[in-house]
Structure 1
Amino acid sequence: IFSGPAAWSAVELQTFLAILGDGVIQGELEGSIRNEKVFKEVSQRLAAHGFERTSDQCRVKVKKLKMQYRKIKDESNRSGNSGSTWKWFDAMDAIYGRRGREGGLGSAAALLESLVEPVGKDFSTINDLHLG
């Protein structure tokens, strides 16, 4: 008996969001009406990290995550309470909530990296490097 795909683990979802937050992927998703090719790439990137998901599973997961994100955003806009307890809210907000705001996808990538990297790491020295 086939019971459907297994639930996404936290590590898998974190990896998925990091891939989604990639500027190239976001650019392709925004500029594409038929984005099957983009989700194939997302699926292949997940596979490179050891997670087997089809492009359809990736597309459905994005849809569900966006619905959850919008629901929380709408509720917080109505109530004025911006604190969300949803684990993936900050990552989703970095990808989908900051468009048109200063920082844009650059800050999304930084936030997504911070989900993986230990907090408190000082990246300011990277700006002090002189190449050439």
Structure 2
Amino acid sequence: MASRGKHWTVNEVRALIHIWSDKNIQQQLEVTVRNKRIFEQVAARLQKFGIERDWKQCRTKYKNLKHEYKSVKNAQDSGNTSKSMKFFNELDAILGHNTGEQSMCCDKPFLSEVKLWGTQGKSDS
């Protein structure tokens, strides 16, 4: 098992972001506060890539990346373009939809439409 203090490699972070970009994982993370089970799934999926991380390490890395992303995003929104981070574009693709005010008006109806599309086929057949 990996030691707690072991730094995440670029490939490990890429794999974590890849799993995080899964719409199913994103939706679970958005609606769940107690998310140990979700991060157990993430850790299990990382193992398939040969990456040994426990759920706590995955959750901590997720929180740190999310915090760093928000910090850079806020700085950029207030005109400070010098602040940057590795993986910003990848995280922006995942998190960019729920940070700005414009997303408040537009995301919710879209999510309910997606849910409707998912159930429509079942009731019509």
TM-score (norm 2): 0.72
Return the alpha-carbon distance in structure 2 between the equivalents of residues 4 and 14 of structure 1: 19
Return the alpha-carbon distance in structure 2 between the equivalents of residues 7 and 70 of structure 1: 21
Q: CA RMSD in A?
A: 2.1
Structure 1 residue 5: deviation in Å? 2.7
Equivalent residue letter for 1:10: V
5+ unaligned residues in a row in structure 1: which ranges?
A: 105-132
Corresponding residue for residue 61 of structure 2: 61
TM-score (norm 1): 0.68
Corresponding residue for residue 46 of structure 1: 46
Specify which structure has the higher proportion of helix.
2
5+ unaligned residues in a row in structure 2: which ranges?
A: 111-125
How many residues end up aligned between the 2 structures? 100
Do the aligned partners of residues 98 and 36 (structure 1) sit closer, same or farther apart at CA in structure 2, a change above 3 Å counting?
Answer: same
Corresponding residue for residue 70 of structure 1: 70
Do the aligned partners of residues 75 and 41 (structure 1) sit closer, same or farther apart at CA in structure 2, a change above 3 Å counting?
Answer: same
Return the alpha-carbon distance in structure 1 between the equivalents of residues 66 and 6 of structure 2: 20
The ranges of structure 1 where at least 4 consecutive aligned residues each deviate by more than 3 angstroms after the TM superposition are 99-102
Structure 1 residue 4: deviation in Å? 3.5
Equivalent residue letter for 1:64: N
Equivalent residue letter for 1:56: K
Structure 1 residue 80: deviation in Å? 5.7
**Pair 1:90-2:121 in alignment:** no
Q: Which has the higher contact order (CA 8 A, sep 6+)?
A: 1
Aligned-residue identity in percent: 33
- Given that residues 39 and 55 in structure 2 are in contact (C-alpha distance below 8 angstroms), is that contact kept between their aligned partners in structure 1? yes
Return the alpha-carbon distance in structure 2 between the equivalents of residues 64 and 30 of structure 1: 16
Corresponding residue for residue 34 of structure 2: 34
- Given that residues 43 and 54 in structure 2 are in contact (C-alpha distance below 8 angstroms), is that contact kept between their aligned partners in structure 1? yes
